[in-house]
Structure 1
Amino acid sequence: MREYDLVVFDWDGTLMDSTAHIVNAIQQACRDLALPVPDREAASHVIGLRLAEAMQQFCPPDQASRLPELVDAFRRHYQSDLDRVTLFDAARDTLEAIRACGAFVAIATGSSRAGLDRALAASGIKSLFDATRTVDECHSKPHPDMLLQLTDLFGVALDRTVMVGDTSHDLLMARNAGSHGVGISHGAHDSAELIRCEPRVIVHSLSELSSWLLPRLC
């Protein structure tokens, strides 16, 4: 018997192998402004949050007025060499298999609408999603707004919805919404941090996700 009618994916670090690129952009932006440069762990921890909220973590209180400048610097570095960032292996196959089971497929991301639309166009997989939500339309994670909007759109119960993400922000959003969470460890947050959010399962690749998820859909 099918357990889920809606599968929602995070984008960066879950479907798109972009964690290292984002971390580098954060670090380069801080260097540009002569601000303390965060290590990889600190920089990767904010991935998934609204951009201004994320960058605020690296702007000391006495430099708060420079936040817009820091955001602009991040955007500049993020756009540099973005065409080298690719989907994780098995991303397309996983999405196609989920759709073949008849479940709805959606995205809930901390990216902007313009940024997500560019990435979807470049990756060639936009048609595999029934809907997308970004921080331009919703509250930032871990607020449950994105999942609440998506379940309302499709008329799907929250307990028949599963959120797949690589960060604690994704899994806490799922928990706050009353839906299920699946952590994937190949992105920004490590397995130990994901486990603390009490997901149904931790997987280590999209292929492993398919092995766990498809029997619960088809």
Structure 2
Amino acid sequence: MPQQLSFDLPVRIAHGREDFFVSSANAAAVAMIEGWQSWPGRKLALVGAEASGKTHLVHVWATLSGAKIVAAADVATADIPSLASASVAVEDVDQIAGNAEAEEALFHLHNLVLAEGHSLLFTGQNAPNFWPIALPDLASRLQGTPLVALEAPDDVLLTALMAKLFHDRQVVPTADVLPYLVRRIDRSCAAVQATVEALDAAALAQGRAVTRALAKEVLDKMG
């Protein structure tokens, strides 16, 4: 079958609370985000594996709290007083370890946001005591931050996430695709994301619907 031209069509990523499916794997994290006004010390560390839903929950929290969102790597060049005029979510804090300028800026942001009476949300892939932050004062403040984790997804969450990602791409798979994939892919949110992307690309390239047969072909190629 001749292949069609494949175009990168816009993907509508749904980050609303109504788009976040709650299961036993993430219920504790959702409860903490929704109860943000009761965080001890007005701060929280939200941790979980890649593609586990951290960014989605950050956006949910920003909507609830009016918070600003910034990548930890961008804090070094940010206007800290302006940023600290509201609550702040700082994503991927574990990725700035050893970046002296970014660590120093985050330390000042941490102190100023709390001094102004606002709240802080940090994200990373594991607990703050495993973040190799070199600045001792920042490390101690992060390690003293209350923690909630997004756990490994169960079948219900994997299915819901897959359905959401297909919906974001305006793809409607046949009814047997999702249960077929859930039984065969790695049990991680990152695997779900990679599988949906690969299926969407294959369907566009071949001009086919996303069916179980196409899913089998794509999985076979992904190894």
- The TM-score normalised by the length of structure 1 is 0.26
TM-score between both structures, scaled by the size of structure 2: 0.26
In terms of Rg, which structure is larger? 2
